[in-house]
Structure 1
Amino acid sequence: MKGLLRRYEHPLFVSCLAGLYGCQWRRYQRSRARPGDCCSSFALLVAAFCLTLVFLYFWGEAQNDYNDFDWWCRSSKLRCTFCFCISVMRGLIIGLYLAVLFSLYLVPLGLYSPCIKEEGTLGPAPALIGHRGAPMLAPENTLMSFEKAVEAGSEGLETDVTISFDGVPFLMHDRSLRRTTNIQEVFKNRTDTLAAMFTWAELESLNAGAWFLSHNPFGTVGSLGAEDHMRAGNQSICSLQAFLQLAAHTDKLVIFDLYRPPRGHPYRDTWIQRTLERCTGLGSGFGDVLWLPSDLRALVQEMDPELQQTSGSRLPLEELRSNHIVKLNLHYSAMSPELVRYYAAVNISTNLYVISEPWLYSLAWCTGVQSVTTNAPQLLSTMSAPLFLMTPDEYNLMWILTDVVSLMLVLTIFMFHW
């Protein structure tokens, strides 16, 4: 218990209790306790306890007037003083209660939500970008996962790219292969080896789907049909080339992050050039690829101007323009209507990640975000309107009616007890 208090710095109330019962006042001041602290703390505790007993005794006696308790003050001013104090105390309690109650009534009327909008001001629904495909319906970063994302209505696909030891870009989010493959069965002595240190032939020999069925990361395996269940368990690691071919065939946007190989890797210093060289022969070009990596951005733009340069952070407007940034890829915690409008005014769109809950998607929709990265495209694509969308008049009417009903209920209970 003491270790927890020292580590997590519990609030003042807990610190006071620890000081009273454990004589540890000085611990929270980062110094040693003095010998007199324990005695003074104990005396304070005893005094508070005694006063509490006296208060409870007099309160009970005064309330019940038990055994002619007020004989000693019937003909004196002491009774009046005592009754006056009781009345004042009751008045203060009732006043404090009413103040808190009316504050609670008024607070909702001053709250702001992006989904409180005038009619006709709601923009189009944000486009859906499948986060590593549709990871609730298939193993992440596999062809099956991206195909499921396309079937669910995703307008874009998101992934992470690593380069194999022999220079083949492939899809893998983790640095190692332990979580999403059967590396422990195939290469027992290389379980913790970085994924980039395997050749493509070695990577192709691994199963990248059985873990999905056994771990059931989203609790959705039970909803798969027999055919999908069998197919999911036989997925392999996907190459970037196969991924881009699927995106080009289905006319989907692509956004990916590119991991730099570790030290000792043959392509550590040429990983970006290698990625572009291996993928430029697809025929359709890179016009639908959102290029997220910030390394060597000028070189990337020179090699392929069709790439849509994307930034993963909010940079100054001048820097965004100089780097030809056309899209921001930000965490959903950065969401705000002002931010979206500010960048939209200079033709820079905003994508938020990772949004999988309908209520959060509703906020992004009302905020005016252009697209979101999601784990649940099959769920969000079915939404025809944001949740809790209402006009300011409807919102105010709802809360005023709620406040009136609540006040009537409180008054009824108060009068009943009175």
Structure 2
Amino acid sequence: MAVLSWPIALHFFRMNKKRQVAVLALFLSVLFSLYLVPLGMYSPCIKEAGTLGPAPTLIGHRGAPMQLAPENTVMSFEKAVEAGGEGLETDVTVFDGVPFLMHDSTLKRTTNVAEVFPNRTDFDASMFTWAELQQLNAGDWFLSRDPFGTVSSLSAVDRSQAQNQSIPSLAQFLEVAARSGRLVLFDLRRPPHGHPYSRSYINTTLQVVQTHINSSQLQVLWLPSEGRDLVQAVDPDLQQTSGEKASIQELTDGHITRLNLHYSSMSQQQIKYRSVNISTNLYVISQPWLYTLAWCAGAQSVTTNSIHILSNINQPLFLMTPEEYSLMWILTDVVSAVLITAIFIFHWRERGLPFWSGSRQTHENGPYSKFRTLSDVWSISSVTVRPDLRSMPNSPSTPHLPTIT
């Protein structure tokens, strides 16, 4: 941009006011456009023809909370299935032998606990009995706070249903997944120290999962890292899922079949993992451009808040071969070079100089340069005459000094 700016700026100060305004308006318009261009650009998916894999499957993040329903409710998971999600993700907490769904450590954000139990608002979610949890409303907050600005788009039936949601148990969640044939991914929060299930929470959760797997062949991705060897020994059919990168040898030794990674870990390494039957899930991806990058990187699935949007994407937004990518930048460089050359030609012609003659022009008294003339005038005007020479009378031996004005 600086290369384009300086010849225009040099010529700008030689123009009359009207032309200055016109050129300034044009220059600022181009500059503003260049600043806005990156907002509409996305990283391209560069792939050789025929090497792009299938689109990543979609796993509903706590169901489908972005627009359709309050998170971690039966309604939310059902909406995720209706929107085309092939998997469901959640977080599990345990108290009196009943694993239930809750992402936060407390109940403040997603329930009306402040109304029902005002003195226990800051209590850990695992310190409430199942009977107490069933007294709470887990959907009304979604309608009143409108976290995504989408409540107005819900139908009257959906609003009524959202308003009457409660905290679901893990068993209820697994039933929704089993009915729809969706895979399940969940993390497990360890109860605080001194909790009655602080040592047995893994076995308690595993028993619920096994019951539903045996009755429906449910596909469960087991994410908790604690007690993984025990879980693998008790139920080898669970798909062991890790939230950390490791070498292929370490992953295979730990019976890991899937990685669950933040989207910032996206790289072509996913393709290497896939070669040894270790798939990759990236979270949380809700924008179409980011989804297509995950697709290009070889991810097998993504956890998302916007299943209803991503399910309509049939190919990456900006897909091109390496040859097309190179051609795009070559053409960009050529156009830039032509534009810069045109600006220089315009600048020199406006000064009345042929472009090919450079900064010097033939004058009747010899070579002439505007820049040189200005510097010569400055040199003459800065001459200092000795005072004694100014007052000296003219004599035959003293040449007459012209007056410099």
- TM-score w.r.t. structure 2 length? 0.73
What is the deviation of 1:138?
0.6
Aligned-residue Cα RMSD (Å) equals: 2.1
Aligned to 1:181: 111
Find the counterpart in structure 2 of residue 358 from structure 1.
Answer: 288
Q: How does 1:177-326 map to 2 (within 5 A)?
A: 177-282=107-212, 283-284=214-215, 287-326=218-257
* Superposition deviation, residue 407 in structure 1: 2.8
Aligned to 1:155: 86
Contact 2:44–2:320 at 8 Å: present in 1 too?
Answer: no
SS in 2 for 1:326: strand
Secondary structure (helix, strand or coil) at the match of 1:336 reads: coil
How far apart, in 2, do the equivalents of 1:412 and 1:294 lie? 63
Deviations 1:372-410 (A, max 9, x none): 111111100000100111122322333333333333333
Counterpart position of 1:86: none
What corresponds to 2:61 in structure 1?
131
Checking the alignment, whether the CA contact within 8 Å between 2:107 and 2:121 is kept in structure 1 is yes
Bigger proportion of residues as helix: 1
Is there any run of 5+ residues in structure 1 with no aligned partner, and where? Answer: 1-59, 65-111
How many residues were matched structurally? 309
Q: Which has the higher contact order (CA 8 A, sep 6+)?
A: 2
Q: 1:287 to 1:251 in 2, by over 3 A?
A: closer
Residues 264-294 of structure 1: CA distance to partner in whole angstroms, max 9, x if unpaired?
Answer: 2111100000112234333436650000001
Give 1:329's match in structure 2, choosing from 241, 249, 260.
Answer: 260
CA separation in 1, counterparts of 2:43 and 2:115?
51
Task: Evaluate the alpha carbon distance shift between residue 391 and residue 278 of structure 1 in structure 2; reply closer, same or farther with a 3 A threshold.
Answer: closer
Which residue type is aligned with residue 93 of structure 2?
Answer: T
**How far did 1:202 drift?**
0.6
Q: Distance in 2 between matches of 1:130 and 1:248?
A: 15
Note if contact 2:181-2:218 (Cα within 8 Å) is conserved in structure 1.
no
3-state SS of 1:408 partner = helix
Larger radius of gyration: 2
Which residue identity does 1:379 align to in structure 2?
Answer: I
- Distance in 1 between residues matched to 2:256 and 2:226, nearest whole Å: 14
Instruction: Report if aligned partners of 1:286, 1:306 keep a CA contact under 8 Å in 2.
Output: no
Q: Which range moves more in the overlay, 401-410 or 185-194? A: 401-410
**Matched letter for residue 318 of structure 1:** Q
- Percentage of identical aligned residues: 66
Q: TM-score, normalised by structure 1?
A: 0.71
Structure 2: runs of 5 or more not aligned: 1-9, 15-41, 349-405
Q: Conserved in 1, the CA contact under 8 Å of 2:43 and 2:318? A: no
Alpha-carbon separation, structure 2, partners of 1:374 and 1:328? 16
Q: 1:404 to 1:317 in 2, by over 3 A?
A: closer
